[in-house]
Structure 1
Amino acid sequence: MKKLFGLVCCLSASTAFAQADIKQQQLIKKSTIHASITVGYGGIENPVLDADDVTSPILPSFAYYGDNWYFDDFSLGYSLYETENFYVDLLGRFNDDGFFFELDGVDKLYATGVVRSSSGRPTLPTASPINLTPIERDLSYMAGLSSAVNVFDAMWLSAAYVHDVTNVHNGYEILLNGYQVFELFSGTAGIEAGINYKNEELIDYYYTVSPSESKTRLLSYNLESATNYYLKVSYEYPISDSFTLDFKLKHTWLDSNLANSHMINKNGYFSGFTGITYHF
């Protein structure tokens, strides 16, 4: 259940910042609960070293949009100002970095001693006795402002600023993205590109390995703020009034400084889901 919870949150994270695709396509009718479940295959690559990827055969979704407030899966929002081509919202959502640690039990890293070092050779610390502690990171909930403007007929540009309100790391994120929808083969296709800036406090909390968490002697490595980039494509094809064929694929490119840190073993990761969706 925890893995499914994290999968839903992570796959819906980008749309929590920009509801432009929903508003543009008018897929969500106000003051109505919208629920669906997709049966197929999907998941998230976990970029943390030696952590398992998360996959699932089902992906549920649950949303409600009122006149001023909404929730979409685990994201919350309140509309401060809205016109046909522009809106400003209060926004709340989980931070996706925390799920990389919650989903797979990354505490096993400290026991196996596989945390990557710059030398590539594991050596035991000289301190005795060796009292190692698990690598544990808490989930944080972020809240702030998001805004979007319709620059062309079906293209939106959006920006968001969210700050940790759960006193986990007291960091913040800034996200900028653009989203375009268009008709394709009797269905609806979308393409989204974005930049996600995470400040030093957030990056340091999640990705710094302390000496007590690793059997490997770690050379000094200072983490800084990180700017990640992503590209997302989606396609929805109606089969009937209740069923659609859905495809979503997103690739995130990690900041080079973050990708070379002790805890990460790749330059980026994929996430997505494809299957048949039933709309309740």
Structure 2
Amino acid sequence: MYRTLLILLAALSLPSIGVAKEPCVTKDECIEMRNWDLGVAIGWGQKTNPLRDFDDIPVFFIPTVAYYGEHWFFDNGNLGYSLVEQQYFSLNLVTSYSMDRAYFYRWDPSNIFLKRSTQDGVRMLDTPAVINAEPEPVFNSLESRNFTLLGGAEAFIYTPLGVVRLAYTHDMFNVHQGAEAQIKWTYGWHLTRWVFDMSLVLDWKSTNVVDYYYGVRPSENTYWSQHYHADAGWDKGVEMTARYILTDNWDMLFAFRYTQIADEIAASPLLDQDYSSTYFIGAAYRF
């Protein structure tokens, strides 16, 4: 028995679990049950950082580690348990971690093996604030945005027009007591040695999540802590990959993701752009 592996998740360091029940074009698209699946992608790419005065994040070395048993599975740091698995539908209990903390910290799971050049993710502005209608968003050192695991459920619906993923997760350790949800549609096709995948993604973040990561603490800036009020919002994204199969173990890989950040998040003075994009070009090897 095999389960399909969506290599885009590893290439873009996304925390989603990528399980689908599509036929395997080649064996490197699948994970054999009860065997560890190890891989690495080596190349060059970059993830833009929407946070004000934070550096973009280079992407050059991305490991993948996965194991799927009869019910339990582990996929790049996420644990899951399969409750129902039918021909056109499956339901899992899963853990995941938020993408948002990755913008602040080098060693967040979403940024493993990525380099950050600013100390503690913060680079102070030297230019004094200009007094206009509102003060310039200049901040003291940012307080910690702590790591937490999210736990919840995900469902996959398998159709001839692609796979739909529905997921809802909640903070398991009372770090921010927030919740996240996702609606994701993925469609894949192949042409001789080429394999293509495209996804459209909607990611919802609750008010608590938005406030914890993008709200301003009084110690960071007194004015903006009082004038920015967080609210729940939907990020919208598109993901694409193109792979050229060289051998049973080697692929050439191009991956791209674009995220349009929710207006409620983009309004935070911590941000200076309302989008984030990631690209990666390189080679992927499956052991």
Shorter-chain TM-score bucket reads: 0.7 to 0.9
C-alpha contact (below 8 Å) 1:116/1:263 kept by paired residues: no
CA RMSD, 1 decimal: 2.8
1:74 is the counterpart of 2:77: yes
C-alpha contact (below 8 Å) 1:32/1:65 kept by paired residues: yes
Sequence identity, in percent? Answer: 24
Count of paired positions: 263
In structure 1, what is the equivalent of residue 157 of structure 2? 149
Deviation larger for 247-256 or 98-107:
98-107
Unaligned runs of 5+ in 1: 1-7, 126-131
Shift of 1:83: 1.6
CA gap of 1:266–1:242, structure 2 versus 1, over 3 A, is same
Report the structure, 1 or 2, having the larger helix content: 1
C-alpha contact (below 8 Å) 1:9/1:96 kept by paired residues: no
C-alpha contact (below 8 Å) 1:113/1:122 kept by paired residues: no
Match of 1:264 among 265, 271, 275: 271
For the residues of structure 2 that align with 1:90 and 1:117, how far apart are their CA atoms? 51
In structure 2, what is the equivalent of residue 4 of structure 1? none
Shift of 1:119: 4.1
CA gap of 1:270–1:24, structure 2 versus 1, over 3 A, is farther
TM-score (norm 2): 0.82
In structure 1, what is the equivalent of residue 19 of structure 2? 19
C-alpha contact (below 8 Å) 1:173/1:199 kept by paired residues: yes
In structure 1, what is the equivalent of residue 122 of structure 2? 108
Residues 21-40 of structure 1 show CA distances to partners (whole Å, capped at 9, x for unaligned) of x7553511111111111111
Residues 133-178 of structure 1 show CA distances to partners (whole Å, capped at 9, x for unaligned) of 53321112111000011121x6111100000102110100010011
Unaligned runs of 5+ in 2: 1-8, 107-115
Letter paired with 1:139: F
Residues 234-261 of structure 1 show CA distances to partners (whole Å, capped at 9, x for unaligned) of 1221101221111211101001121121
CA gap of 1:164–1:123, structure 2 versus 1, over 3 A, is closer
1:30 is the counterpart of 2:36: no
For the residues of structure 1 that align with 2:266 and 2:128, how far apart are their CA atoms? 16
Letter paired with 2:53: D
TM-score (norm 1): 0.84
In structure 2, what is the equivalent of residue 208 of structure 1? 215
Residues 41-82 of structure 1 show CA distances to partners (whole Å, capped at 9, x for unaligned) of 123211111111111321111111111111111121110110
In structure 1, what is the equivalent of residue 200 of structure 2? 193
Match of 1:48 among 41, 47, 51: 51
For the residues of structure 1 that align with 2:32 and 2:47, how far apart are their CA atoms? 29
Residues 102-123 of structure 1 show CA distances to partners (whole Å, capped at 9, x for unaligned) of 1255663567588999846449
In structure 2, what is the equivalent of residue 138 of structure 1? 146
Q: After TM superposition, where is structure 1 displaced by more than 6 Å over at least 4 residues in a row? A: 113-118
In structure 2, what is the equivalent of residue 99 of structure 1? 102
In structure 1, what is the equivalent of residue 286 of structure 2? 279
1:63 is the counterpart of 2:66: yes
